[in-house]
Amino acid sequence: MKITKICCIGAGYVGGPTMAVIAQKCPHIQVTVVDLNEERIAAWNDKDLNNIPIYEPGLDAIVSEARDRNLFFSTEVDKAIDEAQIIFISVNTPTKTYGKGKGMAADLKFIELCARQIARVAKDNKIVVEKSTLPVRTAEAIKSILDNTGNGVQFQILSNPEFLAEGTAVQDLLNPDRILIGGDTTFEGQKAIQSLVDVYSNWVNADKILTTNVWSSELSKLTANAFLAQRISSINAMSELCEKTGADINEVAKAIGMDSRIGSKFLKASVGFGGSCFQKDILNLVYIAKSYGLNEVADYWEQVIIMNDHQKRRFSSKIVQTLYNTVSDKKITFLGWAFKKDTNDTRESAAIYVANDLINEHAKIAVYDPKVSSKKVLDDLNYLETRSIENNANSITSHLDPYEACQNAHAIAILTEWDEFKLYDWQKIYDSMQKPAFIFDGRNVLNGIELTEIGFIYKGIGS
Ligand code: NAI
């Protein structure tokens, strides 16, 4: 089938950038991204590209090129479904917060709503693509809903998980390590796979497009995230041992990373991973394993999360201990709130949990992040429901200027690895702080030797 119209349900961190790149690379295909969230769609359509809802380096230029040419953002979900030959589902799949599987399983209610809406609206054959990260065998449920509530038209379900990393989404989409497409082994299934392969072939080499059965594709995404997160927890586990033994985690990481069987990526010790995916996907994996009675498999992967929680808690405890066992009424400045650099996404950011711990100890937190608003910081903290909204508002402030944020602080904690932190006038910051002036570098990005020469007491992770 020659594809001329694509629709994507969900204009978030995945749907927005992914569809922008497809539209840029396939000018002959009309791409419509739809969302229920009117504010988000309005922001995607904002004439001022600084206001598009997702910050990713290079994204504004791509949106600017394709928007209103063959890339459209809309709240008219039915219309977009009706017109499209391929429908991507890219809605959120958070961890369940209620009922069976609470705190572990993926909440598939948004996926099911999409499936029911597609079934209701579709009047001709459609290819439905799971772009969201889903538990293995979700395609079965989607297929059942589509076939049982639809208008008698044919649906092919493909799994096409997204492997982009926030902060480098555009580069990852333009030059993906691989594109994974899972589909039915039937003739119709293979035809549907080919239609999607043809879309990606506009800019991705054939040898990077991998086709599998649906279940392998669904499970590969969970597996990839589990392996990535596992490396972070592994290096973080060693960082604690380094701190006890005089070894330096940066040196250890370099030494093991030069082994080509291990490789050097994802070996950076830190305050712990955040982001909307790693934790939720591993919890989901653990839940699936348990549901099949595979308790050893479940326990093995759960340890990755346990280690990550420990690393976050260990960081806040270290701050309290080092500041003479009390941070009550002390100003502690957080440089960074986003879960990683080059994104405005704060979901599950370690900063939120570290701030929460320190506020429990009555610290006053000042935050500077180049891309995160003060409202977001407060919303993130309120979401934990640890204390009243008023109490949170009295305990945390956000600043637009990093030097102002650091003034009179007892300590600075680096929570995100933004490049600009390396370029600051650290002497000026030191002069404006309470003494002794502490830096807790939760990302090991600053030069500890230089900072120590200025007079700071510098504490990195794992050394
Ligand atoms: P997001 O929360 O940024 O975006 C999801 C969007 O879907 C929201 O704007 C929401 O309003 C919309 N939505 C929900 N239900 C809808 C419905 N019935 N009709 C229309 N719109 C609806 O989520 P994000 O981060 O884009 O993630 C989407 C999926 O992609 C998740 O399954 C996630 O695990 C996966 N993923 C995320 C990555 C990331 O880096 N954020 C990377 C790879 C996969």
How does pLDDT run across 19-58, given as a tens digit for each residue? 999 999 999 999 999 999 999 999 999 999 999 999 999 9
Same domain, 333 and 195: no
Q: Would you give the DSSP letter of residue 412?
A: E
Domain membership of residue 434 (yes or no) is yes
Give the Cα separation of 314 and 271 in Å (integer). 8
4 known ligand binder: no
277 known ligand binder: yes
Same domain, 141 and 278: no
Give the Cα separation of 163 and 172 in Å (integer). 8
Q: Provide the 3-class DSSP secondary structure of residue 8.
A: strand
95 known ligand binder: yes
Atom of ligand 1 nearest to the CA of 134: 32
Same domain, 109 and 193: yes
Question: Which of 297, 277, 281 is CA-nearest to residue 289?
Answer: 297
Q: Provide the 3-class DSSP secondary structure of residue 178.
A: coil
- Work out the average pLDDT over 309-338: 98
> In whole numbers, what is the pLDDT of the chain averaged over residues?
97
**Which of 145, 172, 204 is the last residue in one of the domains?**
204
Distance 183 CA to ligand 1 centre (A): 21
Q: Which of 90, 129, 339, 341 to mutate to test the pocket of ligand 1 (most atoms within 8 A of CB)?
A: 90
Domain membership of residue 163 (yes or no) is yes
- Work out the average pLDDT over 281-308: 97
Distance 442 CA to ligand 1 centre (A): 28
Nearest CA to ligand 1 atom 29: 132
Q: Would you give the DSSP letter of residue 96?
A: P
Atom of ligand 1 nearest to the CA of 37: 11
Same domain, 131 and 188: yes
Nearest CA to ligand 1 atom 10: 10
188 known ligand binder: no
Same domain, 258 and 387: yes
Same domain, 198 and 296: no
Question: Which of 231, 305, 229 is CA-nearest to residue 267?
Answer: 231
- Structurally, the chain folds into a number of domains equal to 2
Nearest CA to ligand 1 atom 37: 14
Give the Cα separation of 295 and 277 in Å (integer). 22
Nearest CA to ligand 1 atom 32: 132
Same domain, 232 and 195: no
Q: Which of 32, 221, 276 to mutate to test the pocket of ligand 1 (most atoms within 8 A of CB)?
A: 276
Query: Do residues 252 and 292 touch, judged by C-beta distance below 8 A?
Result: no
Distance 202 CA to ligand 1 centre (A): 25
Question: Which of 81, 185, 90, 87 is CA-nearest to residue 127?
Answer: 87
Distance 166 CA to ligand 1 centre (A): 13
Same domain, 195 and 221: no
Domain membership of residue 54 (yes or no) is yes
Domain membership of residue 235 (yes or no) is yes
286 known ligand binder: no
Same domain, 238 and 153: no
Q: Whole domain around residue 418: which residue ranges?
A: 214-463
- Work out the average pLDDT over 239-256: 98
* Amino acid 242: pLDDT: 98
HSE on the CB side for 305, CA within 13 Å?
22
ipTM comes to: 0.99
Write the DSSP string, 24-66: HH-TTSEEEEE-S-HHHHHHHT-SSGGGSS---TTHHHHHHHH
**Which of 204, 223, 255 is the last residue in one of the domains?**
204
Domain membership of residue 164 (yes or no) is yes
37 burial class (0-12, 13-18, 19+ CB within 10 angstroms)?
A: middle
Same domain, 267 and 390: yes
* Amino acid 379: pLDDT: 98
- Residues in contact with ligand 1 by the CB-under-6-Å rule are 9-15, 34-37, 40, 77, 90-93, 110, 113-114, 132-133, 162, 164, 166, 276-277
Distance 358 CA to ligand 1 centre (A): 31
* Amino acid 193: pLDDT: 98
Query: Do residues 221 and 288 touch, judged by C-beta distance below 8 A?
Result: no
Task: Encode pLDDT of 422-433 as tens digits.
Answer: 999 999 999 999
**Which of 144, 171, 204 is the last residue in one of the domains?**
204
Question: Which of 305, 317, 375 is CA-nearest to residue 346?
Answer: 375
* Amino acid 60: pLDDT: 97
Q: Which of 35, 79, 136 to mutate to test the pocket of ligand 1 (most atoms within 8 A of CB)?
A: 35
Domain membership of residue 436 (yes or no) is yes
Q: Tell me how far the alpha carbon of residue 399 is from its chain's centroid.
A: 24
**pLDDT exceeds cutoff 90 at 1:** no
* CATH number, position 188: 3.40.50.720
Beta strands in 287-410 (DSSP E): 331-335, 364-368, 396-398
Q: Which residue numbers are catalytic?
A: 277
Give the Cα separation of 195 and 179 in Å (integer). 14
Query: Do residues 134 and 143 touch, judged by C-beta distance below 8 A?
Result: no
Domain membership of residue 209 (yes or no) is no
Task: Encode pLDDT of 106-153 as tens digits.
Answer: 999 999 999 999 999 999 999 999 999 999 999 999 999 999 999 999
As a whole number of angstroms, the longest Cα–Cα distance in the chain is 74
- Those residues whose C-beta lies under 8 Å from the C-beta of residue 423, and which sit 6 or more positions away, are none
Same domain, 106 and 64: yes
Atom of ligand 1 nearest to the CA of 91: 7
Distance 276 CA to ligand 1 centre (A): 10
Nearest CA to ligand 1 atom 21: 35
133 known ligand binder: yes
* Amino acid 7: pLDDT: 98
Distance 9 CA to ligand 1 centre (A): 9
20: left (phi over 0), alpha (psi -120 to 50) or beta: alpha
Radius of gyration of the chain (CA): 24
Same domain, 108 and 157: yes
Domain membership of residue 21 (yes or no) is yes
